[in-house]
Structure 1
Amino acid sequence: MSVNSPESGGMAQQVRNFVVVLVAVLLSVAVVLGLQTRTPSASLSDMAEAAVPFDQAIANGKPTLVEFYANWCTSCQAMAGDLEQLKGDYQQDVNFVMLNVDNSKWLPEMLHYRVDGIPHFVFLDNQGNDAGAAIGEIPRAVLASNLTSLMAGEKLPYAQAEGQASEVESALDMSGSADDPRSHGAQVVQ
């Protein structure tokens, strides 16, 4: 059998096809693994379910981090992993509370803390007094510095931090605009 025979050409084509299939499989596996590493490990709903209830946090004598959030908020979702890590580091000494702005039950707290963008973080001292706030996507290091100072009873280094936030429309506005993504196109008749 010579190098230029038809059998050797068929064999070379089979080897090339095998290599192409192997590369395609490896690339597919790499893409799937890459997408999995970009998916947040923390679900806002799961985090809220595991959070300390607001009334309990105010009464238990520990400093508290209250997060006003919504499941549709991309900034809230982007910070979920960082907050889960902070909770793991500080949960022995700090309450972590999550209040969903889409639940009208929290309207008095939203008004009291002037929540107009989310995520909105409120730092409360061990007596439940307002020690500072942070609005929007805040670096984990900034939140950690504030939590460390809160635990020590010191003034927060970033008492009024701001980052990218999602706007919150007042729950008192019942106009029902069809432009509201949460209206699902419904019109409210006045």
Structure 2
Amino acid sequence: MTGSAPSASLSAGQKVLLVIGAIALALILFLLRNGLSVESPMDQLARRSLPPEQALSNQKPTMLEFYADWCEACREMAPAMLETERRTNGRMNVVLVNIENPRWQDLIDRYEVNGIPQLNLFAADGSLRGRSLGVRSAAQLEAISNALIDNTKLPQLAGIGSLSALTASETTASSLVSSPGPRSHS
């Protein structure tokens, strides 16, 4: 038989094209799997947060948010919190504390976290000025952060206020009943 058999070897040009194609395919797969997923605002804030003890001792006002990854309200508020952090440009600490992390149980207990998102608002000297429970809009967070930075009165918003200790006459048996924890949602 005198026919020519197809060449079993690839030319140098074909090998180069094959390598380029394989690299392009690997890059596309990497981007689709990992590279295109942008870190969420909540993850960005949590990653950049100072440890609470450092934030409360660095002579800057602090907005400390108790949150959980599964909390829809926390995720809803996260872009506004990220914008608040960017807008305050280092004049105020924005710190996130995940209630699911056992490392923070002492803070959860100390600040009586019964629901999330909960913002604890601290003066530059680390003293607690107030607390906010529930989702806050960007405008509300701006008003709160401005008050903290300027050391002026906190805005009068529903679910926010200064904290005060109970007097002995205000403490009754019914007020001593334990409230559900932040993970209960009951």
Describe the shift of the 1:105–1:146 C-alpha distance in structure 2 as closer, same or farther (beyond 3 A): same
| Unmatched tracts of structure 1, length 5 or more | 1-38, 171-179, 181-190
- SS of 1:117's partner is coil
Match of 2:120 in 1: 122
- Structure 1 residue 41: deviation in Å? 7.1
TM-score, normalised by the number of residues in structure 2: 0.63
Which residue number in structure 1 is paired with residue 85 of structure 2? 87
What 5-or-longer segments of structure 2 have no aligned partner?
Answer: 1-36, 161-180
Q: In the alignment, which of 168, 184, 188 is matched to residue 182 of structure 2?
A: 168
**Contact 1:123–1:132 at 8 Å: present in 2 too?**
yes
Contact 1:66 1:98 in 2 (8 A): yes
> Which whole-Å CA distance do the structure 1 matches of 2:53 and 2:110 have between them?
15
Q: Deviations over 1:118-167 (max 9, x none)?
A: 111011000111111111111221121111111111121137636xxxx7
Structure 2 Cα separation of the partners of residues 90 and 126 of structure 1: 14
The CA distance in 1 between the partners of 2:70 and 2:81, in whole Å, is 17
- Shift of residue 40, structure 1, vs aligned partner: 9.2
Which of 106, 109, 116 is the matching residue for 1:108?
Answer: 106
Report SS of the residue matched to 1:96: strand
Counterpart in 2 of 1:185?
none
In the other structure, the counterpart of 1:29 is none
SS in structure 2 opposite 1:143?
Answer: helix
CA deviation string 1:74-111 (max 9, x = no partner): 00111111111111101321001110000111111111
1:160/1:63 Cα in 2 relative to 1: closer, same or farther (>3 Å)? farther
2:56 aligned counterpart, secondary structure = helix
Q: Distance in 1 between matches of 2:60 and 2:157?
A: 18
Letter in 1 for 2:109: L
- Between the aligned partners of 1:143 and 1:131, the Cα distance in structure 2 is 15
Tell me the SS of whatever aligns to 1:138: coil
Contact 1:64 1:95 (8 Å CA) reproduced: yes
Query: Matches of residues 143-182 of structure 1 in structure 2 within 5 Å?
Result: 143-158=141-156, 161=159, 168-169=182-183
